[in-house]
Structures are given as structure tokens and as C-alpha cells.
Amino acid sequence: MQNRRKFIKNTTVVLSMLYPVLLQPFLAHASETEAQKKALEARDVTSALALLGVQNPGPGKRILLDVPEIVDANLSFPIKVSSEIPGTEWIAILADKNFYPLIGQFDVSTGKKASAVEVNAKLPKTSVIRAVVRASDKFYVVTKEVKVTLGPCKK
């Protein structure tokens, strides 16, 4: 019993010393900048884009935005964005009519030829979905409208 207590105590001491070292890669990757936090709290698309530093986005000819044309009100649906633009650094997804338009910003700077993200979202009403891509310090955007219908009535 004494050996077990000593083992647990020593293991706890060693793990507490290694804790910051082991988690450092995960903490650095998950950290958000102040601008990203403020962009998530922005109430309109223009403000969110400005806080993300988006300026003069060009047409996203090599960006695929896959969303359904029609969704039920307040039901979750998938949004898929893939970019074949070389040097893609991040992808942001915004919905114009949401209370907080920025759905998410995703770091995809892996150096791969194509980058993709998928996220589920809900819309309260018909809205334009935007996918903004930052690649080689330039911005590109593609948009699609998603129509929201009232779900089936419950009696």
C-alpha cells in the first residue's frame, strides 16, 4: 500500500511538471487573437470582415461552397467549403442574417494543394452564406443564398 501511494505521488509530481510542455502544441494551435474574438461578437458582416482584416476580396473562382438550397428553420445543416487556391491560410464562413454572422474561422495552412472545412449551422431566416479565403495575403469570396422554410407543423 505504501509503494502504491509513493508511486501515485511521484507520478503526479512528474506529470504536473510536464503538463505545460506536453500541452504547448495544443494550446498554441487553439488560441484565438483578440481580433478573432471580436469578429465572433460582431453583429454585422461588414464589421466581422473588417475585424478579420478582409480588404477588397476578389472572386472565389477556385472555392467550392457546398450548402443546401433550402433548409428548415432552426435545424442544423452542413456547410462545406473547399479551396484549391495555392497558399490557402484560413477559411471563414459567415451568414448575413444571423445574430452573430461569423460562423467560424478555420486555420488550414497545411501546405496541401486543396484545403477544406465542414461545419454545421442553423439559420433563423433566408440568408446569404459567404466563404472567405485568405491565401498568400489576398482575400477571395464566394456566396450562395440559402432559403429557410418553416418546418413541419406539430399538432
Give pTM, 2 decimals: 0.74
Predicted confidence (pLDDT) per residue in 16-46, tens digit: 555 554 444 444 344 457 877 888 888 899 9
How many whole angstroms separate alpha carbon 129 and alpha carbon 102? Answer: 10
Report the percent of the chain where pLDDT is more than 90.
Answer: 46
How many whole angstroms separate alpha carbon 130 and alpha carbon 100? Answer: 13
150 vs 13: which has the higher pLDDT: 150
Predicted confidence (pLDDT) per residue in 69-86, tens digit: 999 987 899 999 999 998
Domain 32-149 class, CATH top level: mainly beta
The pLDDT value given to residue 93 = 95
Nearest CA-CA partner of 117 in 155, 69, 154, 64:
64
Residue 117: its H or E element? strand 115-121
The x, y and z cell numbers of residue 5, run together, are 501511494
- How large is the C-alpha radius of gyration of the chain? 21
- SS3 state of residue 98: coil
Give the residue carrying C-alpha cell 435545424.
Answer: 75
Predicted confidence (pLDDT) per residue in 110-132, tens digit: 666 678 899 999 998 999 999 99
- Phi-psi label, residue 66: left if phi above 0, alpha if psi -120 to 50, beta otherwise: beta
Residue 147, amino acid: K
The pLDDT value given to residue 139 = 95
Domain ranges of the chain: 32-149
Q: What is the largest CA-CA distance in the chain?
A: 69
36 vs 1: which has the higher pLDDT: 36
2 vs 43: which has the higher pLDDT: 43
